[in-house]
Amino acid sequence: MKIKAITFDLDDTLWPLFDVIMHAHKTSNDYLIAKHPQMQSVLFSSEERKMWKKLVQAEPNLANRLSELRKKVIYELLVENNVDSNEAKELAEKSFEIFLDERHKVVYFDGVLSALEKLKDRYILGVITNGNADIKTLKIDHLFDFYVNAEMVNESKPGRKIFDEAVKLAGVLPEEICHIGDHPVNDVEGAVEAGMQAIWMNALEKDWEHKEALTVPEVKNWKELEERFLSL
């Protein structure tokens, strides 16, 4: 089946996530600690992890709304540590703004932007992500025809709903879409289960960690990906 559309994960597919997300956490946490030093021992600790888990257990769909979940976690931790609720709400909002700003200071893998520019001339391009990175904030929205994230459909990859929404937005058959992503389950398995083709983007050169053997193509850089699609 001829490929008419290509969809992409974002984190660890277009850019490496770890350094940027850790810096975002640190910057937003430093802001909160400067306001309330008692938060030093709370933020990015087992106490914070327990709060994430507690809130998701109480409201499972929050896992699909990462921005809201992060603000709720910070708010609850501040209140638990004797910060007035009104101030806690303001601090949670401000710290999230800081986090989100830093979270978008990504460094793309080599060749990402030039590859997308070339692929856009021949394919419908879309984004399927569980995260809260925003392509408009990144100023790359002109490279894509559509964008869908977990919050928009209230379901995360590898769930079927988010892939079905991408099929609808692409306006082609599922088998005419190839999804590119780094995660063996969320991206590769999820796309295949939704009837799409898939390619494992292994730019970080990780081992294939899945109970099933790798049955889709693997690419390790964006030049290789570009050449694969432009040669079709």
Domain 18-103: state its class: mainly alpha
Residue pair 180/197 in contact (Cβ under 8 Å)? The answer is: no
DSSP, residue by residue, 24-56: HHHHHHHHHHHH-GGGGGTTTSHHHHHHHHHHH
On whether the 5-16+107-230 domain is CATH 3.40.50.1000, my answer is yes
Where do we find the tokens 């984190």? 11
The pLDDT of residue 132: 95
3-class DSSP state for residue 128? strand
Residue pair 124/170 in contact (Cβ under 8 Å)? The answer is: yes
The pLDDT of residue 1: 76
The pLDDT of residue 232: 80
Strand order in 146-149's β-sheet?
A: 146-149, 124-129, 5-8, 177-181, 197-201, 218-219
The residues spanned by each domain of the chain are: 5-16+107-230, 18-103
The pLDDT of residue 23: 97
Mean pLDDT by 10 residues, the chain (232 residues): 95 98 97 96 94 96 95 97 97 98 98 98 98 97 98 97 98 98 98 98 95 94 97 85
The pLDDT of residue 149: 97
Q: Do domains 5-16+107-230 and 18-103 have the same CATH topology?
A: no
**Which candidate, 163, 168, 169, 166, places its Cα nearest to that of 189?**
163
